[in-house]
Structure 1
Amino acid sequence: MKVITFGEMKELTNRYKAIIKSPHKDLRLANMLDDMRQAYGIPLLRNNQFEHNNPYLMQMYRTVSFSREFMGGDTVVGY
């Protein structure tokens, strides 16, 4: 498992801000979530220990996840 650095968190934040302004944000947000899971070993199912050990990463993951919209604008409650 890779630990996120301050610089990587800043890059993720900048990527997120750029995506939110884009017209195809849902697809791009989904890709960002996949990239984060792959890069940092985020489990698909909720894991309290992982969340405890990676609070900043998981806050960013939730922010990205909660920003996605499905079926005409209903926000999905995610991870």
Structure 2
Amino acid sequence: MTAGEMLMFTKRFKNILSSKTPQSIKDARLANLMSDLERAYNIPMLRNENFEKQNPFVMQLYRTVSEARDI
């Protein structure tokens, strides 16, 4: 993940959290962000320690987005 990509995804995440939309809409937007991260970085469906070691920043952001959802 380049610094520019990280900044773009992080800004998007902060934008979602700071919006005044209902939580259900935020949850849908966060799920879309997670899907975009999965596609952009080929995040495996099942936990893969090698992938996580090679991509710590991607996984940190991915988990942060996941934990922000109210499911």
Task: Give the TM-score normalised by structure 2.
Answer: 0.90
- The RMSD of aligned alpha carbons is 0.7
Corresponding position: 1:51 with 2:52: yes
Partner of 1:7: 4
> What are the ranges of 5 or more consecutive residues in structure 1 without an aligned counterpart?
71-79
> What are the ranges of 5 or more consecutive residues in structure 2 without an aligned counterpart?
none
Identify which of structures 1 and 2 has the higher relative contact order when contacts are C-alpha pairs closer than 8 Å and 6+ apart. 2
Q: Report the structure, 1 or 2, having the larger helix content.
A: 2
Aligned residues between the structures: 67
Partner of 2:18: 21
Task: Give the TM-score normalised by structure 1.
Answer: 0.82
Q: Percent identity?
A: 52
Partner of 1:73: none
